[in-house]
């Protein structure tokens, strides 16, 4: 119909939003802003609606997911919403016995370490996550012209939780498998790529207008190992959703040495943490990609002046980029003052208004 964009079923206002324009490296009215983990514990209204409801259960309640996803959009005036879920939700949906423990993170009852364990990773079907389709239907109606970002964990980061059995500092079991049994490792990542691609497709078909692949812990690897042991699986995910024409964002922490390869894997937008300035990141990533980032989330605990100074530095470093989406270099920390986030959105919008 007349108000449908060329890129699928999203409304024209969404397609023409500052966020999607920046992802496509088009001219923008202002630099768009959103925050990883913008929904969640920094917001009192989040803590209130989550009271007594375990994390994974809350991800399966479409009305609750809709409310939590909308909260930071209402409060901060960010340029995009991110679907409220967790990277382990598709694994739970195919029957992996895991839970998200408060203050710890995802914990897997029986880790995946042998060839026999691989059989537990069956394909994900849309029926396994019907609550996602339902929630995104509700959300896109409420969001109007604000785009919704779908997301998934990348094969390496998912493998790390599955192989370690929980959060890990050194990823020793994961690396033992990667170096010790490269064929089993490749097969594991390939299975996870299929599951991840299927999960992203569900979100895009339901109305997500961009997707972010979180490879949060891949910064633990050297570039050569990333290239041989991770990139093929991440590329498979990006290629599987290329046909939809929605921007594909790729993010990791401590990935300064991997930025070029993460772009090569198939991202349209490369996420950068605070360790590499954006102008330097652009040299590492090369032409034809937008960048997302990169204020250190801990800076938000400092004075308003310090936040503005640090933000100004980022905007200056981003001045020559083909496309820039302002974000933090990692997720909002739970004890962040929400007002500091609202002020930051206003500051970026005002400073970059064209
Ligand atoms: O607003 C948003 O960004 C959407 C929500 C979101 C959650 N998890 C909700 C959540 C997103 C995008 C994620 C992704 C996720 N989950 C990642 C990748 C992003 C990143 O930070 O690098 C990772 C590594 C996970 C795994 C995970 N889940 C961790 C490390 C934790 C924190 C453990 C803790 O309690 O400190 C979780 C739990 C989780 N996921 C919470 C939320 C809001 C906290 C649970 C709660 O509020 O009770």
Residue ranges in 60-129 assigned as alpha helix (H): 62-76, 89-93, 115-118
The reply to whether 275 falls in a domain is yes
**207 carries a ligand binding annotation:** no
Predicted confidence pLDDT, tens digits, the chain (354 residues): 334 444 556 889 999 999 999 999 999 999 999 999 999 999 999 999 999 999 999 999 999 999 999 999 999 999 999 999 999 999 999 999 999 999 999 999 999 999 999 999 999 999 999 999 999 999 999 999 999 999 999 999 999 999 999 999 999 999 999 999 999 999 999 999 999 999 999 999 999 999 999 999 999 999 999 999 999 999 999 999 999 999 999 999 999 999 999 999 999 999 999 999 999 999 999 999 999 999 999 999 999 999 999 999 999 999 999 999 999 999 999 999 999 999 999 999 999 999
Is 257 a domain residue?
yes
Residues with CB under 6 A from ligand 1: 36-41, 55, 82, 84, 86-87, 100, 102-103, 105-106, 151, 214, 216, 331
Q: How far is CA 133 from the centre of its chain?
A: 18
The residue whose C-alpha atom lies closest to atom 21 belonging to ligand 1 is: 331
The ipTM, to two decimals, is 0.93
- Contact (Cβ atoms closer than 8 angstroms) between residue 152 and residue 163: no
Task: Tell whether residue 242 is among the known ligand binding residues.
Answer: no
* 129 belongs to a structural domain: yes
Catalytic residue among 46, 161, 226, 347: 161
- 6 domain-assigned: no
334 located within any domain? yes
Closest C-alpha residue for ligand 1 atom 40 = 86
- DSSP string across 192-246: HHHHHHHHHHHHHHHT-SEEEEE-TTGGGS-HHHHHHHTHHHHHHHHHHTGGG--
Determine whether the annotation assigns residue 15 to a binding site: no
0.80 exceeded by pTM: yes
**Domain harbouring 177, CATH code:** 3.20.20.210
Determine if residue 216 is labeled as part of a ligand binding site.
Answer: yes
Check if 283 is active-site.
no
Helices (H) and strands (E) in the chain, counts: 17, 9
Specify the number of domains making up the chain.
Answer: 1
50 assigned to active site: yes
CA nearest ligand 1 atom 8, residue:
86
Tokens of 174: 């994961």
Q: Judge whether 15 counts as a catalytic residue.
A: no
- For residue 27, report the distance from its CA to the centre of ligand 1, in Å: 32
Q: What is the Å distance from ligand 1's center to 224 Cα? A: 29
37 catalytic per annotation: yes
> The domain containing residue 225 runs over which residues?
12-352
Residue 90 lies inside a defined structural domain of this protein = yes
């Amino acid at each position: 119909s007349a108000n449908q964009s060329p890129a699928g079923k999203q409304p024209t206002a969404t397609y023409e939003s500052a966020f999607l324009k920046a992802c496509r490296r088009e001219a923008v009215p202002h630099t768009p802003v959103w925050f990883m983990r913008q929904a969640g514990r920094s917001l009192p209204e989040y803590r209130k609606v989550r009271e007594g409801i375990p994390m994974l259960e809350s991800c399966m309640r479409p009305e609750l997911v809709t409310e939590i996803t909308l909260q930071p959009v209402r409060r901060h005036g960010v340029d995009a919403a991110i679907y409220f879920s967790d990277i382990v939700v598709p694994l739970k949906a195919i029957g992996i016995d895991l839970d998200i423990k408060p203050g710890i993170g995802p914990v897997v009852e029986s880790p995946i370490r042998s060839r026999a364990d691989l059989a537990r990773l069956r394909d994900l079907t849309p029926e396994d996550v019907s609550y996602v389709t339902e929630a995104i239907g509700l959300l896109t109606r409420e969001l109007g012209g604000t785009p919704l970002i779908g997301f998934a964990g990348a094969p390496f980061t998912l493998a790390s939780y599955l192989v370690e059995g929980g959060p890990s500092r050194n990823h020793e079991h994961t690396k033992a498998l990667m170096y010790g049994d490269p064929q089993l490792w490749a097969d594991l990542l390939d299975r996870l790529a299929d599951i991840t691609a299927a999960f992203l497709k569900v979100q895009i078909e339901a109305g997500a207008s961009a997707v972010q692949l979180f490879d949060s812990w891949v910064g633990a690897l050297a570039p050569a190992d990333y290239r041989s042991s991770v990139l093929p699986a991440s590329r498979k995910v990006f290629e599987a959703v290329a046909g939809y024409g929605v921007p594909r964002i790729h993010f990791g922490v401590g990935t300064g040495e991997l930025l070029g390869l993460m772009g090569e894997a198939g991202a349209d937008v490369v996420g950068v943490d605070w360790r590499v300035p954006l102008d330097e990141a652009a040299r590492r990533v090369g032409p034809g990609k937008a960048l997302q980032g990169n204020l250190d989330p801990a800076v938000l605990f400092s004075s308003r002046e310090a936040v503005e100074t640090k933000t100004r530095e980022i905007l200056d470093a981003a001045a020559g980029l083909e496309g820039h989406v302002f974000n933090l270099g990692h997720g909002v920390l739970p004890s962040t003052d929400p007002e500091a986030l609202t002020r930051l959105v206003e500051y970026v919008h005002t400073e970059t208004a064209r």
